[in-house]
Amino acid sequence: MDLLKVNQVSKTFKSGHFFFSKGRVVEAVKDLSVKIEEGVCLGLVGESGCGKSTLGRIILGLEPPQSGQVIFQGKDFYKISRQEQKKLRKDLQAVFQDYNSAINPRYPVKMAIGEPLRNYFRLSLLEEKKRIQELLELVGLNPDDMNKYSFQFSGGQLQRVNIARALALNPKLIVLDEAVSSLDVSVQAQILNLLADLKKELNLSYLFISHDIEAVYYLSDAIAVMYLGQIVEFIEGMSIFDQLTHPYSKKLLSSVLGPHPHFRTDLSAEFDELQIKSDTANGCNYIDRCNIKDQVCFKVKPALTSVSEDHLVACHKMKKISGIQMAI
């Protein structure tokens, strides 16, 4: 059963509007649909500014979309009453990138971890303490650390505290918004392992938002590649990961630096980076950066269509690409 279903959501931001000038409208998320099944980690990759964090916040109920639905456990989050929303929130938690500011520096961490508990349950002080210690142990911290303040922890430990807080209510889905991106490699590995273990142990679902494909590959069961507010490729089941065919997915993959000086990447590639396309009414979003574009790409916007089982791509040329791939 689908735990979360996002149905054609759109969210635009207005920026720089001033008296007479109309300002720019940025379409952070456009007509996007995606779903996450129970016990599955969906990796969401894309460059900064592609709208992946906005999507995360829409799913978390922090950013109402202009249109579309977010259906979590069969209920449309933005249509139901506040009380029902609160009930749903219990199963929907998050871990953010800046582990440092995610915990109010004015309180000891037991306040942070206890906050969700106090919002939903009436626990005695002793029960609350027990639960907090249990959670700290679950994420590999010392239960006695509950009285420490955030500045007394290292980055990796703080991120563990954040995970403990996210776990406090036994959620079903955790949105990991760049949750390991600002950690050191060695610490990143610890946290990724912890997340993988917790997922198995507690049958959690994740939405893992990251720009780091290697980390996403490690943790995810399905991958969605996002470009300018839309999903351009979706793969379910990591066994077909090497079949990523969209030119943008390929670009992302090729940007990953080789792990050994023997496999150095050719750095002489031309410059291109995320550009907000001025006219998105017609044609493919990726057209400015695409190296296999065709006449049709200028005229018709490609839809996300299935190329094989568990594999969706939004590209007119996908058949051709996969054909070439098969020939090789």
Partner 1 sequence: MVLQGIAKGLYHRKLTIISLIILGVIMLSGALAPVLAPNDPTLISLENKFLSPSIQFPFGTDHLGRCILSRLMYGAITSLGSALVVMSVTITISIIMGTLSGYMGGRVDAFLMRLCDMILAFPNLVLTLVIVGMLGPSLINVIIAMVVVQWVWYARIIRGMVLSLKERSFVLSAKVTGTPDWLIIVRHILPNIIPHIVVLATLNLGMVILHISGLSFLGLGVQPPTPEWGAMLNDAKQFLRSDPRLIMFPGTMILLVVISFNLLGDALRDAIEFRES
Partner 2 sequence: MNSAKVEKEIMNKQVVLNLKNFQAHLPTKRGVVRAVNGINLQITQGKVLGLVGESGCGKSITCLSLLGLTKEKGWVIVGKAQMQGKNLLALDSEEIRRIRGKDIAIIMQNPMAAFNPLTTIGQHFLETIRSHLSVSEKASREMATKYLGHVGLPQPDKLMKQYPFQFSGGMLQRVMIAIALAMEPKVLIADEPTTSLDVTIQRQILGQLARLKEKARTGMLLVSHDLGVIAQMADEVAVMYCGYIVERAPVEQLFNNPLHPYTRALLASKPQMQKKPLQAIGGQAPSLLNLDVGCPFLERCNEKNRRCSHYKQKLIQYDHKHWVGCAKYSAEQRMLNHGLA
* Binding region for partner 1 (CB under 8 A): 57, 60-62, 86, 89-90, 92-94, 96-98, 101-106, 112, 115-116, 119-120, 162, 165-166, 168-169
Q: Which is nearer to partner 1, 40 or 175 (CB)?
A: 175
Structure tokens at 312: 């969706």
Instruction: Provide the minimum distance between the beta carbon of 210 and partner 1 in the complex, in angstroms, as a whole number.
Output: 16
- 37 interacts with, out of partner 1, partner 2, none, CB within 5 to 8 A per kind: none
- Quote the Cα angle for 108-59-187, to 5°: 45
Sheet of strand 24-37, all strands in order from the earlier edge strand to the far edge: 24-37, 2-15, 67-72, 75-76
Position among 259, 278, 309, 327 found at the interface with partner 2 (CB under 8 A): 259
Nearer residue to partner 2 within complex by CB, 84 or 272: 272
**Which of helix, strand or coil describes residue 200?**
helix
> How far is 36 from 199, CA to CA, in rounded Å?
14
Looking only at residues 118 through 137 of this chain, which bind partner 2 when binding is defined by CB under 8 A? none
- Of 144, 201, 270, 309, the one binding partner 2 by CB under 8 A: 270
d(CA 225, CA 233): 5
Helices (H), 48-184: 52-59, 82-89, 109-120, 125-138, 155-167
Torsion 124-129-132-133 (CA) sign:
negative
Smaller CB separation from partner 1, 94 or 192: 94
Residue 159 binds which entry of partner 1, partner 2, none, CB below 5-8 Å type-dependent: none
Which among partner 2, partner 1, none contacts residue 121 (Cβ within 5 to 8 A by kind)?
Answer: none
Nearer to partner 1, 61 or 322 (CB): 61
- Taking alpha carbons only, the member of 146, 137, 74 closest to residue 110 is 146
The answer to the question of residue 184 lying near partner 2 (CB under 8 A) is yes
Q: How far is CA 50 from CA 12, 126, 168, 254, in A?
A: 12, 46, 31, 18
98 binds, among partner 1, partner 2, none (CB under 5 to 8 A by kind): partner 1
CB of 9 to partner 1, least distance (A): 18
- 45 touches 16 (CB < 8 A): no
313 touches, from partner 1, partner 2, none (C-beta below 5 to 8 Å by class): none
Query: What is d(CA 134, CA 142) in angstroms, rounded to the nearest whole number?
Result: 10
The window from 23-31, 102-110, 258-266, 308-316 that contacts partner 2 (CB under 8 A) reads 258-266
Q: Using the rule CB under 8 A, which residue among 169, 187, 304, 307 binds partner 2?
A: 187
Contact between 27 and 280 (Cβ < 8 Å)? yes
Cβ nearer to partner 2, comparing 242 with 279: 242
Q: Which amino acid is at 232?
A: V
> Distance between CA 45 and CA 219 in Å, rounded?
12
Q: What residue ranges bind partner 2 (CB under 8 A)?
A: 47-49, 154-157, 184-190, 192-193, 196, 211-215, 217-218, 238, 241, 251-252, 255-265, 267-274
